[in-house]
Chains A and B, each alone.
Chain A
Amino acid sequence: MDDTSLAILLLNLCLLCYAFGAAAGLLFSSHEKSANLFSFGCATLGSACGIIACVTVLATGTAKNQSFQLFTSLVPYLEFTVRLDPLGAFFGLIVSFLGLAISIYSFGYARGFYGRKNVGILGTFFNLLLLATTLVFFAGNAFFFLIAWEIMALTAYCLVSFEHEKAETRDAGVLFFVMSHIGTGCLIFGFLLLFQTSGGYGFDGFHALGNAMSPVKRDATFLLFLAGFGVKAGIVPLHIWLPAAHPVAPSNVSSLMSGVIIKTGIYGMTRVVFDFLGAPPNWWGVTLLAIGTISAVLGVLYALMEHDLKRLLAYHSIENIGIILMGLGASLMFLHSGHLLLASLALIAGLYHTINHAIFKALLFLGAGAILHSARTRNMEEMGGLAKRMRWTALFFLAGAVAISALPPLNGFVSEWLTYQSLLQGFGTTTSLVRLMFPISGAMLALTGALAAACFVKAFGITFLAQPRSAHAEHAHEASFTMLLGQGILTAACVFLGLFPTVFLKLFDPLTQQLTGQQISGQLSAANGLVLSNATTLGGSISMPGLTLLGLSLLAVPFVLWLLFATRAKIRRGPTWDCGLRGLTPQMEYTATGFSKPIRMIFKALFRPRREVQREYDFSSYFTTTMRFESHVEEIFQTRIYRPLNRLALRVSRRLRALQAGSIQAYLIYIFITLLLLLIFAL
Chain B
Amino acid sequence: MNPASPEIGAQLITLMAALMLVMQLLLAVQPMLFTSVRLYAIQSFLLAGIAGVVAFFDNASHVYILATLTFIGKVIFLPWLLNRQLRRIQITQEVEPLLNAPATMMVCGGLTLLGYLVARPFTSLERLGNNTLAIAITLVLTGFFLMINRRKAISQVLALLTVENGVMLAAVALTTYGMPLVVEFGIFFDVLVAVMILGILAYRIRETFSSMDTSKLNQLKG
Contacts and interface: CB of A to CB of B under 8 A. Distances in A.
Do A and B contact each other directly (Cβ–Cβ < 8 Å)? yes
Interface string A572-604: 000000000000000000000000000000000
A605 B103 CA distance: 10
Nearest to B103: A605
Contacts of A433: 117
Contacts of A436: 113
Contacts, number: 3
A441 to B, nearest CB: 15
Contacts of B117: 433
Interface residues of A, number: 3
Nearest to A605: B103
Interface string A280-293: 00000000000000
Contacts of B103: 605
A436 B109 CA distance: 13
Interface string A431-456: 00100100000000000000000000
Interface string B98-126: 00000100000000010001000000000
Interface in A416-439: 433, 436
B contact patch SS: helix
A433 B119 CA distance: 13
B40 to A, nearest CB: 29
Contacts of A605: 103
Interface in B133-159: none
Nearest to A602: B102
A605 B113 CA distance: 24
A433 B117 CA distance: 9
A436 B116 CA distance: 13
Nearest to A603: B102
Contacts of B113: 436
Interface in A600-619: 605
A455 to B, nearest CB: 21
A436 B110 CA distance: 12
A44 to B, nearest CB: 51
A256 B7 CA distance: 62
A670 B209 CA distance: 71
A436 B114 CA distance: 13
A103 B103 CA distance: 49
A297 to B, nearest CB: 14
A433 to B, nearest CB: 7
B35 to A, nearest CB: 24
A126 to B, nearest CB: 47
A605 B106 CA distance: 14
Nearest to B116: A433
A436 B103 CA distance: 20
A433 B103 CA distance: 22
Nearest to B102: A602
Nearest to A436: B113
A313 to B, nearest CB: 29
B121 to A, nearest CB: 13
A474 to B, nearest CB: 43
B134 to A, nearest CB: 13
A531 B103 CA distance: 42
A248 to B, nearest CB: 36
B86 to A, nearest CB: 31
A622 B51 CA distance: 63
A433 B115 CA distance: 13
A599 to B, nearest CB: 13
A433 B113 CA distance: 10
Nearest to A433: B117
3 contacts: A433-B117, A436-B113, A605-B103
3 nearest CB pairs, A to B: A433-B117, A605-B103, A436-B113
Interface of A: 433, 436, 605
